[in-house]
């Protein structure tokens, strides 16, 4: 793949390469130590490391006969900058959705309160009678009044 320009997005597209980045972000590891963490061949790991190196996510340091991998996480700022536009977009959309849902809930609560108030009011025919002072309820006689039973 001579002459192929690689970018950070190509590097992080593969789960094995993401795992390699994670491994070497905390430890300086030689290629054999990196390969020991995976169930794929050493040449396959070397290809992944080469791609990560071409993208600038891994720096290869030669120490004697060993080649060590060190993560260069600053390159991930490219990804973060790209994602930031989408992060803002979705933040604004979700804020608008939240406001809409709160407004809907508030309207629903007012509607339910009005319905409950209506349910608790006496029927219209009883309302008009109590306002006029008359009622269908039996009248109560004063306690001291006697009842004539003859």
Query: What pLDDT does 107 receive?
Result: 85
Locate all alpha helices (DSSP H) within the chain, ordered by sequence.
Answer: 8-12, 15-26, 31-35, 42-54, 77-120, 124-132
pLDDT, tens digit (0-9, with 9 covering 90-100), for 109-129? 888 877 877 777 776 776 665
Q: What is the pLDDT of residues 86-107, one digit of tens each?
A: 999 999 999 999 999 999 888 8
Domains of the chain by residue range? 8-71, 77-122
Contacts 24+ apart (CB under 8 A), 3-7: 6/51, 6/54, 6/55, 7/55, 7/78
Dihedral (CA of 37, 39, 43, 48) sign = negative
SS3 12: helix
Give strand pairing partners of 29.
Answer: 69
> Tens of pLDDT along 21-79?
999 999 899 999 999 999 999 999 999 999 999 999 999 999 999 999 999 999 899 89
pLDDT band at 1 (very low <50, low <70, confident <90, very high): very low
- Domain topology for 8-71: Arc Repressor Mutant, subunit A (1.10.10)
Say what the pTM is.
0.60
């Amino acid at each position: 793949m001579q002459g192929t320009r690689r970018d950070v997005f190509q590097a992080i597209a593969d789960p094995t390469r993401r795992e390699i980045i994670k491994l070497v972000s905390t430890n300086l590891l030689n290629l054999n130590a990196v390969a020991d963490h995976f169930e794929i061949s050493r040449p396959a790991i070397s290809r992944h490391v080469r791609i990560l190196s071409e993208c600038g996510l891994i720096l290869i340091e030669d120490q004697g006969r060993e080649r060590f991998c060190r993560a260069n996480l600053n390159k991930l700022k490219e990804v973060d900058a790209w994602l930031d536009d989408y992060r803002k977009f979705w933040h604004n959309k979700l804020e608008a959705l939240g406001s809409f849902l709160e407004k809907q809930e508030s309207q629903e609560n007012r509607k339910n309160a009005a319905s409950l108030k209506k349910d608790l009011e006496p029927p219209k025919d009883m309302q008009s009678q109590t306002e006029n002072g008359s009622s269908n309820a039996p009248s109560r006689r004063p306690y001291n009044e006697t009842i004539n039973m003859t």
